[in-house]
Amino acid sequence: MAIRDRLTDGSVPLTRSDLKVARALLSNYPAAGLNTVAHLAQAAGVSNPTVVRFVGRLGFDGYPDFQQALLGEVQERMSSPLSMMNAGKGATPPDNLYLDSMRSAAHAVETAMTMLPSAGFDRAVDLATDPALRVHCLGGRFSGYMAGMLWSHLKQLRPGCHWVSGARSDQVDALVDLGRRDLVIVYDYRRYQIDTIRFAQAAAGQGAKIVLFTDPWASPIAGVAEVILTAPVESLSPFDTMVPALAQTEALIAALTTRLSGKSRGRIEKMEALRRAASVTEDAYGAAEQGDEE
């Protein structure tokens, strides 16, 4: 478990002085802990021995061990497929790659089930179903497909939904209308994408609320997010898995469908009628052809 998570999940009892150190560390995580004891103590407004006692409460033998753990988090956070290939990951296939990959994905989903407090998930549902908020879905190079999937379902359930995609200039232009009446649901996983981070931070600066889907090391967007939904990304291959994030997204869609069922039925019926009239799907096309023959 990341040090950040241990400081926020209530598992470590902290004194009032410890809380000052924790706040200073979390305000600039993990960089604040990679400097000297004196630097962190000054940022927190405490003494050097207080910082040393603080890392001891976290279970470290000393400040160097604490910093080594932070460096390990940084290395994991910034790992790219190429760096993992260079380290040999994925070079030797297991005996049954298909079954082992499926087991790995199933284990990742089970792990994701323990990583999100129900209150955080419920808050995400509250925000996404608030009729006073317009919803904007955004993601990166791969996670953008997750944002598109969420948007494709949301727009059937409620009005005022947008998928922020396309050229970077178009995404920047989309910021002009964002403010306190907007919710941005954003996906950002390690090797965090600069334009995604900047968009979310700018939107938050203009008053928009942010729900973040990310990995255990947390995108920098976490600093402005009201809700953070984390999921493991480790897989057998050098490429991170999106299976747990997909499961979380489908759980959110299921909750939104239930919450909005009373209001969305008429909208979906009208949408289905429009699709039939336009022969959008194969069943509608077949019915239209049969009608012509009669």
Residue 13: per-residue pLDDT: 87
pLDDT at 188: 95
Domain 3-77: CATH class, spelled out? mainly alpha
Is the domain 109-259 a CATH 3.40.50.10490 member?
A: yes
Give the global pTM.
0.69
Q: What is the pLDDT of residue 77?
A: 63
Cα–Cα distances (Å) from 10 to 3, 120, 145, 157, 278, in that order, read 12, 15, 34, 36, 55
* Nearest Cα to Cα of residue 128 among 275, 257, 294, 266: 257
CB 237 within 8 A of CB 94: no
- Residue 84 has a pLDDT of 46
**In this structure, what are the phi and psi dihedrals at residue 17, rounded to the nearest 5 degrees?**
-70, -40
Mean pLDDT for back-to-back runs of 10 residues, the chain (294 residues)? 77 87 82 85 92 93 90 67 51 73 86 76 95 96 94 96 91 94 96 92 96 88 88 82 94 96 91 89 64 55
Q: Residue 227: beta bridge partners?
A: 211
- Give ranges for CATH 3.40.50.10490 in the chain: 109-259
- Tens digit of each residue's pLDDT (9 = 90 or more) over 261-271: 988 999 999 99
Q: Which residues contact 1 (CB under 8 A, 6 or more apart)?
A: 216
Please give the pLDDT value at position 28: 74
What is residue 215's predicted lDDT score, i.e. its pLDDT? Answer: 87
Task: List where CATH 1.10.10.10 sits in the chain.
Answer: 3-77
pLDDT of residue 183: 98
Residues 6+ apart with CB under 8 A from 110: none
Q: What are the tokens at 238? A: 């050098």
Q: Residue 133: what pLDDT?
A: 98
- Omega prior to 244 cis, within 30 of 0: no
